Amino acid sequence: MDIKRPLRQSPSLRPSLERSTASAGGGRQSPAVVREQLLRDGLQPRTVSPTTLRADQRTRGDALLEMQQVLEGERLNEPTAYGSTVIRNPKDVTSNSDWDYREKRNEQAKAQVAANAALEADALRRMSPADRASYLAVKARLSDGQDVVAVLSLQKLLFSGALPGAQDGVNHGRLLDHLASVADGTAQLAPGVSRDGLLQSLVQELATPSAIDQGPKGTCGPTTLLIELAMKNPAEYARLALGLASPSGQVTMVGGQTLTREPGTEADDGSGRSTTQRLLAPALQEAAKPEAYDNASDAGWGTWGKDLAALHQQLFGTSEVVKTAETPAQRQAVTDAVMREARLGHQTQLILDVGGSLHWVLVVGVEKKDGKEYLKVINPYGQVELISPEEVARRTKGANLPPDAVARTS
């Protein structure tokens, strides 16, 4: 079985390049529906309309709820041609709405940043003077770049506890340390790498990993691992990006393998990807298998389960169990194993037949809809989807599972 090129920017994989924020019925969701979703995400807001609150009544839950609607998009119910349903479709981190004051999203982000001022000040008071100065330097650089959505994303990282953050995979720094090094110029960058573009991409993708987008390249497998890395160790994600953006263009992963920047990925290559994805995804694709990868032509695209398992070992220092599925019985067994791991909160890579092409997605959990369980996945085209176990059993070609998953099947 040969891995085929994933579909690129098709209506089935990307319902709208403009990323509509309307609900399935054409309007905004009711407060009750928004609150229900928020509670599923583990937040505890006082209201779903924080703009009606005085500043002293506003909580971090209120702020994070509003941020979700802007950064992740409204809750959707859009069926795809390959059996899943898109429930979130965040704007690309390169969207014009980040800085264009005529855009509604820009207006919403600006209002939220201002409304969060008291909460932000309270969080900063709890920081050390050095960390406070670093945060303000990052915020100033983003503000100077007129990227109000990136500023809102920075606030999300602060409110969610990602800043200052834990150490990266090799104890070279925390997320705040890495972001500040970009903002203040300490981090040396290769000619052609945009300092503002790198900072804006890092902040937004780490605040909203579901917005990470492989673009028109066949790098879905490595991109799912990047999404997982952004969720589990944002400081390591930033460290790798800064290493590839450096003059040497090289950085060593946790497992000891060296990543090397692909030629032509320093500056805009016309792919529409963010600065970070343009640097990271091609380098990981190259490192994933013996066959060389060419970013310009996309030659060498595609990855097998064993390729991703080896790359996972390098990125996280942990192994994976590779399961392939060719027969109905094998597909059902893989589906059952993935469901079991998802219920336990374990992330897995799942490969699906999406209409003649094979495509990797990242399973991030289970969600109930109308009393039935669905797998919640992040599609590396930058959207969140629900897919039923029955559909997975029809379409899966395999999965990469945690090393102890086999013991849980017995």
The CATH number for 327's domain is 3.90.70
Global pTM reads 0.88
User: Nearest to residue 119, comparing CAs of 167, 70, 72, 65?
Assistant: 65
Question: What is d(CA 224, CA 232) in angstroms, rounded to the nearest whole number?
Answer: 12
Burial track 349-362 (b if 16+ CB lie within 10 A, e otherwise) = bbbbebeebbbbbb
pLDDT at 208 over 50: yes
* CB atoms near residue 53 (< 10 Å): 14
End-of-domain residue from the set 316, 345, 378: 316
User: 306 or 18: which carries more pLDDT confidence?
Assistant: 306
> How does pLDDT run across 147-201, given as a tens digit for each residue?
999 999 999 999 999 999 999 999 889 999 999 999 999 999 999 999 999 999 9
* 107 and 166 fall within a common domain: yes
* Residue 98 counted as domain residue: yes
Among 316, 340, 371, the domain boundary falls at 316
Is residue 286 in some structural domain? Answer: yes
Is 322 strand, coil or helix? strand
* 31, part of any domain: no
Segment 116-137, tens digit of pLDDT:
999 999 999 999 999 999 999 9
Question: Can you tell me the mean pLDDT for 356-369?
Answer: 95
State the total domains in the chain: 2
For residue 78, tell me if it sits in a domain.
no
Where does the pLDDT of residue 409 fall: very low under 50, low under 70, confident under 90, or very high at 90 and above?
low
Please answer whether residues 164 and 175 qualify as being in contact, where contact means their C-beta atoms are separated by less than 8 angstroms.
yes
Asked if 181 contacts 242 with a C-beta cutoff of 8 angstroms, the reply is: yes
Question: Same domain for 195 and 279?
Answer: yes
Tracing tokens 């969207």 back to the chain, one arrives at 95
212 lies in the same domain as 270: yes
Q: What is the pLDDT of residue 29?
A: 38
Phi first, then psi: give them for residue 94, nearest 5 degrees: -100, 10
Decide which of 261, 282, 316 is a domain's last residue. 316
- Asked if residue 308 and residue 332 are part of one domain, the reply reads no
pLDDT of residue 25: 31
- d(CA 388, CA 225) in angstroms, rounded, equals 22
pLDDT greater than 60 at residue 20: no
Q: Copy the structure tokens of residue 135.
A: 């945060």
Show the DSSP H helices in 23-79 as ranges.
31-40, 60-67
* Spatial contact of 374 and 361, defined as CB atoms under 8 Å apart: no
**pLDDT given for residue 5 in this prediction:** 41
On whether both 308 and 361 belong to a single domain, the answer is no
In a shared domain, residues 277 and 162: yes
96/167 same-domain check: yes
Domain limits at 363?
321-409
Same domain, 307 and 364: no
Clarify whether residues 348 and 285 are in a common domain. Answer: no
Is residue 210 classed as helix, strand or coil in its secondary structure? helix
